[in-house]
């Protein structure tokens, strides 16, 4: 039996400007199960980031509700790696623990261990400017994992990177997330990235966002994201989601 970790019901969100009201989300409902990898896909401006802001508690919905099944902790990772250039890699990764006043010897060792395990052991005392974009993204993920969140919210976490780095880092990020047994809600506008990484994909319509379709991604020989792109039913999902998005240029 899969355990439900989050239930989202009929979320609606209007933003009020001085002059006008923007209807960002109209009706968003979905469930998330423990250790599931969910992607939210939709055109730019459809309200994807707004969903994550609501789920992380930064914004309130205008109506509707969401409920975590237990007392979960959340890790939120944004597009920009937002590492502090004046802090070392290790000190960047410890910042969440410092803020939570939870920088114990054990927690610090946990973070050093993550950095060692995921190929950053030689860079603890280096600065972000010494690292490639892909490595910085890996550091940002480890910083997010440092506080041991149950659920990771990833907002276009890889889209600032060039295409090749993005493919490589999706393999990396996927491996780390699976090893650490996390539940993930990832927002992306990249259909291929979503299919290659997810158990389920929620497709949002253009603004005001409603759930257009939800797909269980059932790939042959599911393995790493890069290999999953070669799966024979990858294109089946790609075509369906492409059609849902109804892109006009």
Q: Given the rule CB under 6 A, which residues bind ligand ADP?
A: 15, 22, 24, 42, 44-50, 207
Answer whether 217's CB lies under 8 Å from 207's CB.
no
- What 166-172 contacts at long range (C-beta under 8 Å, 24+ apart), as own/partner pairs, is 166/190, 166/193, 167/225, 167/226, 168/134, 168/226, 169/134, 169/137, 169/138, 170/196, 170/197, 170/225, 170/226, 171/224, 171/225, 171/226, 172/118, 172/134, 172/138
Q: Which stretch binds Mg ion (CB under 5 A): 43-51, 136-144, 166-174, 211-219?
A: 43-51
Q: Which stretch binds Mg ion (CB under 5 A): 2-10, 47-55, 102-110, 143-151?
A: 47-55
Answer whether 131's CB lies under 8 Å from 89's CB.
yes
Indicate the residue among 105 and 248 with the shorter CB distance to ligand ADP. 248
49 binds Mg ion (CB under 5 A): yes
d(C-alpha 128, C-alpha 130), whole Å: 5
Answer whether 22's CB lies under 8 Å from 14's CB.
yes
Look at residue 15 and give the partner it binds from ligand ADP, Mg ion, none, a contact being a CB closer than 5 to 8 Å depending on partner kind.
ligand ADP
Say how many C-beta atoms besides its own lie within 10 A of residue 218's C-beta: 11
Count CA within 13 A, CB hemisphere, residue 107. Answer: 18
Look at residue 47 and give the partner it binds from Mg ion, ligand ADP, none, a contact being a CB closer than 5 to 8 Å depending on partner kind.
ligand ADP
68 Cβ neighbours under 8 A, 6+ residues apart:
5, 6, 151
31 forms beta bridges with 7
Indicate the residue among 166 and 207 with the shorter CB distance to ligand ADP. 207
Minimum separation from the CB atom of position 11 to ligand ADP (A): 12
Say how many C-beta atoms besides its own lie within 10 A of residue 1's C-beta: 4
Minimum separation from the CB atom of position 37 to ligand ADP (A): 19
Look at residue 44 and give the partner it binds from ligand ADP, Mg ion, none, a contact being a CB closer than 5 to 8 Å depending on partner kind.
ligand ADP
DSSP H or E segment with residue 202: strand 200-204
Residue nearest to Mg ion (CB): 49
Look at residue 45 and give the partner it binds from Mg ion, ligand ADP, none, a contact being a CB closer than 5 to 8 Å depending on partner kind.
ligand ADP
Count residues binding Mg ion (CB under 5 A): 1
Minimum separation from the CB atom of position 16 to ligand ADP (A): 8
Indicate the residue among 1 and 249 with the shorter CB distance to ligand ADP. 249
Minimum separation from the CB atom of position 76 to Mg ion (A): 13
Look at the chain and count its residues.
Answer: 249
Minimum separation from the CB atom of position 44 to Mg ion (A): 7
CA-based nearest residue to 46, from 209, 230, 246, 219: 209
Look at residue 134 and give the partner it binds from ligand ADP, Mg ion, none, a contact being a CB closer than 5 to 8 Å depending on partner kind.
none
Indicate the residue among 23 and 180 with the shorter CB distance to ligand ADP. 23
Interface positions with Mg ion (CB under 5 A): 49
């Amino acid at each position: 039996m899969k355990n439900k970790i989050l239930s989202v019901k009929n979320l609606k969100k209007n933003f009020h400007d001085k002059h006008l009201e923007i209807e960002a989300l109209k009706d968003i409902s979905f469930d998330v199960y423990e250790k599931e990898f969910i992607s939210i896909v939709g055109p730019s401006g459809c309200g994807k980031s707004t969903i994550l802001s609501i789920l992380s508690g930064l914004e309130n919905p205008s109506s509707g509700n969401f409920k975590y099944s237990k007392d979960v902790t959340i890790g939120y990772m944004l597009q920009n790696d937002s590492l502090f250039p004046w802090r070392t890699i290790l000190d960047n990764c410890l910042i969440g623990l410092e803020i939570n006043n939870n920088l114990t010897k054990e927690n610090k060792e946990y973070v050093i261990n993550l950095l060692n395990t995921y190929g950053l052991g030689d860079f603890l005392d280096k600065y972000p400017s010494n690292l490639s974009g892909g490595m910085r993204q890996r550091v940002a993920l480890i910083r997010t994992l440092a506080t041991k969140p149950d659920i990771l919210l990833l907002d276009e976490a890889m889209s600032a990177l060039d295409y090749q780095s993005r493919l490589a880092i999706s393999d990396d990020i996927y491996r780390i997330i699976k090893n650490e047994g996390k539940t993930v809600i990832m927002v992306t506008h990249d259909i291929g990235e979503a299919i290659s990484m997810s158990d389920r994909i929620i497709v949002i319509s253009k603004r005001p966002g409603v759930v257009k379709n939800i797909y269980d991604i059932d790939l042959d020989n599911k393995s790493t994201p890069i290999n999953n792109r070669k799966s024979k039913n990858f294109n089946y999902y790609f075509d369906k989601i492409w059609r849902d998005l109804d892109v006009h240029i």
